[in-house]
Structure 1
Amino acid sequence: MADRQPALRASHVALLSALVAGTVAAPAVLNGYVEDAHWIIEQRPPLAHPSSFGALLLEPYWPRTFGGGVWRPAVLASYALDRQISASARWLHAVDVLWTALAAGLLALLAARLAGPTVGLAAGLLFATHPVHVEVTASGVGRAELMAAAGYAASLLCALRARTDRRWLIGVALGGAFAIASKEHAATLPATVLLIAAGRAIFAGQDPRPEQRAALAAAACAAVPIVCYFLARPLVTGATFAAGGIAPGLKGMGALGRASAMLALSPEWWRLLFVPIHLSADYSPAQVTVATGLSRVHALALALAVGAALVAWRLRRAAPGVAIGLAWTAITLAPVSNVLVPTEILLAERTLYLPSWGAVLALASAGAALPWRPRVKTAVLALLVLAGAARSVARASIWQDDDRWFAALQRDAPRSYRTLWMEGQDAFVAQRWGTGERYLRLAIAAAPDLPGPRDDLAAFYAAAGQWHPAVALLHESLALDSSRSRPWTMLPRALLGAGDTMAAARAAAAAVRRFPGDGDVGYGAIGPLVVAGDCVAARAVALDVRATLTPAAGERVDRELHSCKGR
């Protein structure tokens, strides 16, 4: 891996890496809309029929019915453009292949500019075929990572050029704006601007401090759009930093508690970055354990971190890319580490896309420093690239349809609350009520701080006329999170079914106050209000939500209001 081929240029490295990444990702064009892609893209009227570009920019990434806690306007704009061209999932995935090639090419170019063409080529090929990327390139909802990485790399490349020509600072700001408008990971860009500046000096055998001082202007230019993004974010999501929820198992923890819990999970990061043999569709409780006290896993995690730091220090002259790569990985993992800001997930393969560039740079740099013959190094690199490509291509097919994805979920993470939850839903649909109840109870036990499984089990109990357990579950759900409309929709009728008319009327009144104009909530409230004798309130709710009701729901409301005649 040593630089022995002067004919190899950085542009060649970028082009070859882009072609390999695109080729490996290409089988994803056979995939359909699966899981989150249904709600984020396929079943999203604002994308299919945007009222205006401005309205699209103010649309949260997740539909508002899902909480709307994330803002990624550049990604939604790209999805909307896709929908104007074709509603086919194949078109969506074809565009993702192009983004995959672009992101990989730019990051390979960055590696070549930083560490030289040969190390850059090794890092670029390892990145292009890394199996942990498949969730990004094949799922249909990984474009945020791809677009953010492309903008991120473009900004850093401009920062390198801005050292000698200040006009490139405009590119730093534009790349940063595009990256942060695609995903929040780009908040780390100013830090990596300084890291890459130091890295360039270290690779050249120079003192990094003058380079870092010279890069302060580029870091400031990268920070400006990021600050503007977070100032504007509350207008869309209602919060500056919150990601829309807290991952299962972390609720109620402070920063130190979350840091301890995530430290115990950090060996999974190391495994996925450097030995990605086993991949999983989910990493949720109880498939992974949130350790609230010190354990042997904490000792292992600390040993891995200390060991990596020692290796980086020992190789700081022979292979400076090891330290730079590991520092990159640590910096870009920060937004998804749940320490500074809690997120909705403990761990996901897609969040390792950008951090993995640091891992492959470290690996390529370490390989270049090994005292092996060039042919041996080339053979090892080829073996790793071919193995990664084969694993990636084989993995991509699980996103062909929902059935394949669910089968992979059951196979990869059988103890995950998500798996148990979906198995319970399937069992109830198949009229296997006992099995469905057991699975949903297991899902609740696996993630006791999540309300969703309780809502579903309550709905199934209500459908079976088991009103008392339905009421109990709905109260538990609202105690966990009272901001969602679904439990408020179900609670009044469940209380009415349980025989508590006055409590049903109170719940109905509270529900319509919380969610005025919501058709589902209003529909659930009218019947209990009528039975309780509050016909004035029932008529007012009906008038408010009439336009949002389906014909069948409207007929039922009319029948319920019929008993109010003369009152």
Structure 2
Amino acid sequence: MLFAALLAAIVAAPSIRNEFVADDQWVVANRQMLQHPTSLSDLLKEPYWPASFGGVMWRPAVMSSWAIDYRVSSSPHWFHAINIVWAALAAALFAVLACELAGPVVGLITGLLFAVHPVHVEAVANVVGRAELMAASGYALALVCAIRAEQRRRYLVGVVLGAALAIGSKEIAVTLPAAVVLVHLARRAPWQVVWRPLVAASAPILAYFLVHGFVGIRTFYGGGLAVGLDHLNLFQRTWAMVALSLEWWRLFLFPAHLSADYSPGELTVSTALTVWHLIGLLFWVGLGTLAWKTRRTVPGIAIGLAWVAITISPVANVVMPSEFLIAERTLYLPSFGVVFALASAAMMLRSPQLRNALVAIAVVAGGARSIARVPAWHDDEMHYQALRREAPLSYRTLWLEGKDEFAAGRPASGERLMLASITFAPELTGPRYELARAYMSAKLWQPAIKQLQIAVALDSTFAPGHEALREALQAVSDTIRPPTTPN
């Protein structure tokens, strides 16, 4: 446990130099309610996203943690330091959980691999990633206490507190009751033992959903469906994600290439029958077969794979909208299942020397990759450059580059980049609005009107689009109005 915590802290330590970046700017920085809360009740009712972004999602635990941070310091470096503490705590708790499930050696290997996994960098190196860290910590705490409650019922208090922390930090904790059942199945616990921790884990989650309706926050998620999945039904989204899920497994198992963005342009959303769909389908069938065949001989593999299936479901864009096709930080909690399965598989090696060597290589490689990745989240400029390097075809990158080209006085390349962005994200209003504004600056009213009409048709509540459209139509009217002749 201690080794995992120290290693996670060491790997995350360079992030203490980071500034507020990307979503930090809107969620954490300059939030008056966090800096100067009017009352505790107002703070607890504050939505995760500010009103200017729709005032959606309720995460009182993580919001309270940022408010406490502001009582100490407004420096982003302090916020990142606290993120490092949470990352160390999460690694320690998952190491303990693995020990409870499979013994100290598997627990140690799991903790070390989890501590250095490169896919965790996004969750640790930007402040909003704390939601992942806190939710995962609460999740692991609840499960450790659920196991120990088999012998001592007082640990049920820990289950309740862990579940409350998890669901108050991020909605992914809705899967905690299923995970409670999973760990007890792994331990072959009788059902008369399972029901108490199951109820203890479910009660705070149920309370969260009940209270949510009284705090005035409309939805449990922000941003709606991911770009590229618009207008797809449940079955179409599921089929599209079968192919895209291969990217999850690449990031879990071979995270050499990391990206600041996984959006249309870089990824292709398709509901057709493609070779990638067949590979994805065969891959999942293969994983299911592996889990079934090893459920008795190496149960850790089956447990780990079942963990991934359970914990990745809220961010799979099937049942719950998750705004992004894929985001590395959302793989933080599911990754425990992968490293636990790998640690369990490592125990099959007859040679301890070979096992230790392979684990050491994986830990060193993972730690080095993680440390090298941290600067990509240092500030907005470095994040933007990471986007350009790692996701040059993403509609987000093309959109930002187009804005830069217009600002630099290069309208031809700006238009080309914006149109490319629109091609990859035709249902999004933002690029159309930005392009229309650029057209209006050049007094190209007709193409501006065309883009704005599409934008407001896509989103009738898009107030800036309506305002710009009225302005463009008025300009056209003034242009074609015949001059008045003096009497």
TM-score (norm 2): 0.95
AA of the residue aligned to 2:50:
P
1:217 counterpart letter in structure 2: R
Q: Does 1:147 align with 2:134?
A: yes
Structure 2 counterpart of 1:139, which letter? N
Residue 270 (str. 1) matches residue 249 (str. 2): yes
Which residue among 49, 70, 73 is the counterpart of 1:62?
A: 49
Aligned to 1:531: none
Does the CA-based 8 Å contact 1:70-1:244 persist in structure 2? no
Partner of residue 362, structure 2: 384
The answer on 1:332 being equivalent to 2:319 is no
Residue 170 of structure 1 aligns to a residue whose secondary structure is helix
- 1:458-492 superposed Cα distances (whole Å, 9 cap, x missing partner): 22222222233222222211111122332233232
Q: Which moved more, 1:414-423 or 1:51-60?
A: 51-60
In structure 1, the residue corresponding to 2:280 is in which secondary structure?
helix
Q: Could you report, residue by residue, the CA deviation over 1:491-537 in whole angstroms, capped at 9, with x for unpaired residues?
A: 32222112189xxxxxxxxxxxxxxxxxxxxxxxxxxxxxxxxxxxx
SS in 1 for 2:127: coil
The equivalent residue for 2:452 is 474
**Which one of the candidate residues 118, 131, 148 is aligned to 1:161?**
148
Residue 182 of structure 2 is matched in structure 1 by 195
Q: Which residue of 1 aligns with 2:165?
A: 178
Give the counterpart letter for 2:88 in structure 1: A
Q: Is the 8 A contact 1:68 1:244 kept in 2?
A: no
Give the match for residue 410 of structure 1.
Answer: 388
Q: Which has the higher contact order (CA 8 A, sep 6+)?
A: 2
Larger C-alpha radius of gyration, 1 or 2?
A: 1
Range that drifts further, 306-315 or 50-59: 306-315
Aligned partner (choices 430, 435, 452) of residue 413 of structure 2: 435
Q: Cα distance, 1:296 vs. partner?
A: 0.8
CA distance in 2 between counterparts of 1:190 and 1:477 reads 42
Instruction: Please report how far the alpha carbon of residue 229 of structure 1 lies from its aligned counterpart in structure 2 after TM superposition.
Output: 1.5
> 1:238 Cα deviation (Å)?
4.5
Task: Give the CA deviation at 1:257.
Answer: 0.8
- Give the residue type in structure 1 aligned to 2:399: W
Find the aligned partners of 2:98 and 2:398 in 1 and give their Cα distance: 42
Give distance in 2, aligned partners of 1:494 and 1:461.
10
Alignment counterpart, residue 88 of structure 1, candidates 75, 94, 106: 75
1:282 maps to which of 250, 261, 272: 261
Task: Write the distance in 1 (CA, Å) between the matches of 2:234 and 2:281.
Answer: 18
Task: Quote how far apart the aligned CAs of 1:236 are.
Answer: 4.7
For the pair 1:368 / 2:355, whether they are aligned, the reply is no
**Map of 2:471 onto structure 1:** 493
| Unaligned 5+ runs, structure 1 | 1-13, 202-207, 502-567
Give the secondary-structure state (helix, strand or coil) at the position aligned to 1:141: helix
1:484 and 1:178 mapped to 2: Cα distance?
Answer: 35
> Superposition pairs for residues 313-324 of structure 1, below 5 Å?
313-324=292-303
The more displaced of 168-177 and 27-36 is 168-177
Deviations 1:37-81 (A, max 9, x none): 111111322222221221122221112211222221111111122
Which residue number corresponds to residue 449 of structure 1?
Answer: 427
Q: Tell me if structure 2 keeps the 8 A contact 1:71–1:237.
A: no
The letter for the 2-side match of 1:401 is: D
The reply on whether 1:219 has 2:206 as its aligned counterpart is no
Shift in Å at residue 445 of structure 1? Answer: 0.6
* Corresponding letter in the other structure for 2:322: T
Residue 241 (structure 1) shift: 4.3
Q: CA deviation at 1:242?
A: 4.5
2:212 and 2:349 map into 1 onto residues whose CA distance is: 47
Q: How far apart are the structure 2 equivalents of 1:354 and 1:166?
A: 26
Deviations 1:283-320 (A, max 9, x none): 00010000121111111011111222222233223311
Partner secondary structure for residue 245 of structure 1? coil
Greater mean deviation of Cα atoms: 169-178 or 126-135: 169-178
- Which of 213, 227, 250 is equivalent to 1:248? 227
Instruction: Report whether the alignment pairs 1:118 with 2:105.
Output: yes
Provide the C-alpha distance between the structure 2 equivalents of 1:299 and 1:367, rounded to a whole number of angstroms: 29
Q: Please say which of residues 180-189 and 241-250 is displaced more in the overlay.
A: 241-250
Give 1:226 shift.
1.1
In structure 2, stretches of 5+ residues that fail to align are 480-487
3-state SS of the aligned residue for 1:306? helix
Looking at structure 2, the residues matched to 118 and 500 of structure 1 have their Cα atoms a distance apart, in angstroms, of 78
Q: Could you say which residue in structure 2 is the equivalent of 1:300?
A: 279
Task: State the partner residue of 2:332.
Answer: 353
8 A contact 1:69–1:237 mirrored in 2:
no
SS at match of 2:28: helix
Which amino acid in the other structure matches residue 24 of structure 1? V
Q: Provide the aligned C-alpha RMSD in A.
A: 1.6
Number of equivalent positions: 479
